[in-house]
Amino acid sequence: MTDVSLEDIITELVVNGGNAKSKAIQAIRSAKTGAFEVAEQKIREANESLQKAHQFQTELIQAEAREEKGTTVSLIMVHGQDHLMNAMTTRDLAIELIEVYKLIHHK
């Protein structure tokens, strides 16, 4: 694995996944009040966090492919993956809800 430990990589999945999910929720709340520029900015911020998390996830996958020690599936690894997947789903739903709120606010 790179100079980053497995624990550090998993921590980055959790942190960046959590940040992305929070930004997506903020985007929904902004759109609800009609602040669509803020909502779009929050989605961009969520995407940045998801991109970072994805880079760390790729490191895990590559380490496993190289059959490096310490890449066995653990509860904390599953927890990190769970954070990432939930963040991605929340972001996707936020994008859809922003469009719905745009329709509502423009009528």
Max Cα–Cα distance, the chain, nearest Å: 58
- The reply, when asked if residue 8 is annotated as ligand binding, is no
List, as one string, the DSSP characters of 41-75.
Answer: HHHHHHHHHHHHHHHHHHHHHHHHHTT-TT-S--H
Rounded to whole angstroms, how far apart are CA atoms 31 and 29? 5
Residues in the chain: 107
Structure tokens that stand for 10 in this block: 């998993």
> Out of 79, 83, 105, 106, which one is annotated catalytic?
79
Of 42, 53, 43, 51, nearest in space to 15 by CA: 53
79 a catalytic residue: yes
Mark the binding-site residues for Mg(2+), compressed into ranges. Answer: 82
Q: Which residues are catalytic?
A: 79
